[in-house]
Amino acid sequence: MLPEQTPPRPLIKNGRQVEDQWLRHDEDAAPAQGYAIVRLDVWLAAERRDSLAPWLPSDTELDTETIAALREAPLVAIDFPKFTDGRGYSIARVLRERHGFTGEIRAVGDVLIDQLVYMKRCGFDAWSMREDQIVEDALNAFNAFSRHYQVSIDNPEPMFRRRQREARERQPEAALA
């Protein structure tokens, strides 16, 4: 019997829909070939991780050992078991802000269009969409807001500082003398 693998869902990355080369693998051992997103415990136990990526449940606690290991991951998939479970936002933000993770952070599970902008602001840069979500609508959702008041991963400068900087940039140089 072949191991159970979940077929790829629509994937948005870098502002467009792309083909997903990673398959979700739910078995207790890593697959022998191909790119696979596996449970965190399977990923941590694997001898070779070059074609594996960890899948983090929303209740994952990021201890020092796990964080050190995640630095070598090509991507980290963070699960949203229900769209109302926001713990994945915190995991992404902690990985980006506190630990400087620069690889792909992918939202998987119950990912809805309404959440994409907020996920991006927390550090996600790829989204495995639910099958019932319309990809074109998802892509358009990233343009729903032209400005954000709060600081975030994608814009660490608060709105009042941006406004001050923009006002200085609009002033003629002669007025500054």
Each residue's pLDDT tens digit, 67-113:
999 998 999 999 999 988 889 999 999 999 999 999 999 999 999 99
Provide the residue ranges of all domains of the chain, joining segments of one domain with +: 5-145, 147-177
Q: What number of helices (H) and strands (E) belong to the chain?
A: 7, 9
Which letter does DSSP use for residue 112 in this model? -
Q: What is the mean pLDDT of residues 154-169?
A: 83
5 pLDDT more than 60: no
Q: What pLDDT, on a 0 to 100 scale, did the predictor assign at position 2?
A: 39
Burial zone of 156 (CB within 10 Å; 0-12 exposed, 13-18 middle, 19+ buried): exposed
Higher pLDDT, 156 or 3: 156
